[in-house]
Amino acid sequence: MAKLDGRVAIVTGAGGGLGRAHALYLARQGAKVVVNDLAADAARSVVDEIKLAGGDALAVFTSVTDEAGVAAMVATTLERWGRVDILVNNAGILRDKSFAKMSIADFRLVVDVHLIGAAICTKAVWEAMRAQRHGRIVMTTSSSGLYGNFGQANYGAAKMALVGLAQTLAIEGEKYGIRVNCLAPTAATGMTHDVLPEESLRLLAPELVSPGLLALVSDEAPSRAILCAGAGHFATAYVTLTEGVHAGAGDVAGETLQREWSRASSREGEIVPVYGFTQAEREVAAATRT
């Protein structure tokens, strides 16, 4: 039996590149797949590939920023298969320029597609997942968001915002069996064709990223993971909190922090907080001890 037999997956931006690889991989694992893309011919082509291989798939043509279109996509999925188990928020665009040359319109457009689009799609499946007490959501983040990249202020901001969205949704979804994770892929797609040399593009085939999805969407999946994947290599990234120093109150605290900066930023004893309020708890505890 395939690992995802009986599961229903929606993959956005699945007409080509990484999304196509995701859709084909999930179908090979037994999932029924909704192939979402604005390009109707491309989406139909992926559906044809899945069906030719013996799988079941449905093409839906809508922008992830179209709330009504996304709601209709989820309604169609539920009508056809009765459930939705997996959402892979993959759809995205690039508008790369240095921040000095970037228009606010291009900044807003990238954030709208990556962040708001993912939020719209996630909101559309959330109640169904809560009702069935099972769901697996994957946000597509990026090393550009986690670590920065020249010329990608808009893209990096959107991609790091998706990490924050995933962190909170994982907490809110836990009691309903909903697990939310992030995938940070490195893949040769139309979005990276002009960025990487030919040899790197060959090694970074999208098909080498998609197997990472199995760990993120199976019944045994973790939650709040950030999986970095490319060229068949997989690693996890973390948002951590150092032990820090208590610098006290008043204006002198700034000077104390400057002197103690190496201690405040030391990674010895750092933790991965289980929720955001951990920071406040540690700060109050440090102040109470003095």
DSSP letter assigned to residue 207:
G
Sign, Cα dihedral of 185, 14, 170, 121 = positive
Q: Are 14 and 49 in contact (CB under 8 A)?
A: no
pTM of the model: 0.95
pLDDT tens by residue, the chain, 290 residues = 689 999 999 999 999 999 999 999 999 999 999 999 999 999 999 999 999 999 999 999 999 999 999 999 999 999 999 999 999 999 999 999 999 999 999 999 999 999 999 999 999 999 999 999 999 999 999 999 999 999 999 999 999 999 999 999 999 999 999 999 999 999 886 656 666 778 778 899 999 999 999 999 999 999 999 999 999 999 999 999 999 999 999 999 999 999 999 999 999 999 999 999 999 999 999 999 86
**What is the secondary structure of 90-154 as a DSSP string?**
-------B-TTT--HHHHHHHHIIIIIHHHHHHHHHHHHHHHHT-EEEEEE--HHHHH--TTBHH
Q: Are 96 and 155 in contact (CB under 8 A)?
A: yes
Catalytic choice (155, 176, 238, 275): 155
Domains delineated in the chain? 8-237 (3.40.50.720), 252-289 (no CATH)
Known catalytic membership, residue 155: yes
